[in-house]
């Protein structure tokens, strides 16, 4: 029973964690180049080593929110095969915000002290 409960709790925690990180992964994907939503979806899976995936609705909602707040901008571009595509890119504000987020929330995981503490915990 405790094992099932632990697994359920872990699944719920990971689901919340992953939803919270979707904004980061979308913005980070745009550091590579301008891209359209489907490309972002593929990049997110690649960069997160398959641990994060997002449905189309979640990505489009985030893109609308980021466009409205000035973090990204979109440009319609003709497609050689099919309808025009909207390519998104980071604005200077988006670039600055992402850089600050990485410095405050991601790089902390690279500190030697933190890595040793995690390893010590896992070795128990």
Q: Which CATH number belongs to the domain containing residue 81 in this structure?
A: 1.10.10.10
Residue 7 counted as domain residue? yes
Whether the predicted pLDDT of 85 surpasses 60:
yes
Residue 72 counted as domain residue? yes
Whether the predicted pLDDT of 7 surpasses 90:
no
- The number of distinct structural domains making up the chain is 1
Q: Which of 5-19, 53-67, 89-103 has the lowest mean pLDDT?
A: 5-19
The confidence score (pLDDT) of residue 112 equals 93
The confidence score (pLDDT) of residue 3 equals 57
Report the sign of the C-alpha dihedral through residues 44, 25, 104, 101, in that order: positive
Enter the DSSP assignment of 53.
Answer: -
Radius of gyration of the chain (CA): 18
How many helices, marked H, and strands, marked E, lie in the chain? 5, 2
Look at residues 62, 56, 68, 66 and name the one whose alpha carbon lies nearest to residue 90: 66
- Coil vs helix vs strand at 114: helix
Residue 123 counted as domain residue? no
The confidence score (pLDDT) of residue 2 equals 55
Percent of the chain with pLDDT over 70: 97
The b/e string for 68-89 (b: 16+ C-beta within 10 A; e otherwise) is eeebbebeeeeeeeeeebebbe
The confidence score (pLDDT) of residue 82 equals 86
Token pair belonging to 107: 């790089």
Residue 6 counted as domain residue? yes
Residue 97 counted as domain residue? no
Range of the domain at 76: 2-91
pLDDT band at residue 4 using 50, 70 and 90 as cut-offs: low
Percent of the chain with pLDDT over 90: 65
Token pair belonging to 66: 């980021």
Whether the predicted pLDDT of 1 surpasses 70:
no
Residue 103 counted as domain residue? no
Residue 61, H or E segment: helix 56-68
Residue 121 counted as domain residue? no
| pLDDT (average), residues 24-42 | 94
The confidence score (pLDDT) of residue 52 equals 85
Residue 111 counted as domain residue? no
């Amino acid at each position: 029973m405790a094992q099932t409960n632990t697994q359920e709790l872990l699944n719920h925690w990971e689901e919340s964690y992953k939803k919270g990180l979707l904004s980061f992964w979308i913005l980070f994907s745009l550091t590579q180049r301008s891209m359209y939503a489907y490309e972002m979806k593929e990049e997110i899976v690649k960069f997160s080593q398959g641990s994060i995936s997002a449905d189309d609705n979640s990505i489009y909602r985030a893109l609308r929110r980021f466009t409205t707040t000035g973090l990204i901008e979109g440009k319609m571009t003709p497609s050689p095969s099919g309808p025009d595509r909207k390519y998104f890119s980071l604005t200077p504000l988006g670039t600055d915000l992402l850089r600050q987020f990485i410095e405050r929330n991601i790089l902390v995981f690279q500190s030697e002290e933190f890595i040793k503490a995690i390893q010590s915990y896992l070795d128990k």
